[in-house]
Amino acid sequence: MAAGAWAYGILGLFLAWIVFVIVAQSFGFITAILNDVQQRLENQSITIPQEFTDLRNTITNFFTSIWGWLGIIVFFSFIIYIIINSMRKQPSDIWV
């Protein structure tokens, strides 16, 4: 049964990797669009409130800083899942 835990763990890590890639590309795309819109508005002499710019910079820095930790947390949670499910015995293993 340990092989099943490893298979599910590796499949889960692969799916998490795909999700991280999609989310990272989407976040970068949205950030680039917001930067482009802000530059175009500033070129047209439309002022953007400083609070909005500060809020956007704070959110961007927050997501950028937790992105590396999120990958490490997901990786170790899958390792813990694999170890726990590898050690667990099935009822058919106990009853002969």
Q: How does pLDDT run across 47-63, given as a tens digit for each residue?
A: 888 898 899 889 888 88
Record the tokens describing residue 83, joined without a space: 């170890």
Q: What is the pLDDT of residue 1?
A: 58
Do residues 74 and 5 touch, judged by C-beta distance below 8 A? no
Helices and strands: H and E segment counts in the chain: 3, 0
DSSP conformational letter for 1: -
Which position has the token pair 């990272």? 24
Q: Is 86 in contact with 2 (CB distance < 8 Å)? A: yes
Low-confidence residues in the chain, pLDDT < 50: none
Kindly report the pTM of this predicted structure. 0.64
- pLDDT at residue number 61: 87
What residue spans define the domains of the chain? 2-88
* pLDDT tens per residue across span 61-73: 888 888 878 888 8
- Measured CA to CA in angstroms, residue 55 lies from 51, 52, 73 at distances of 6, 5, 26
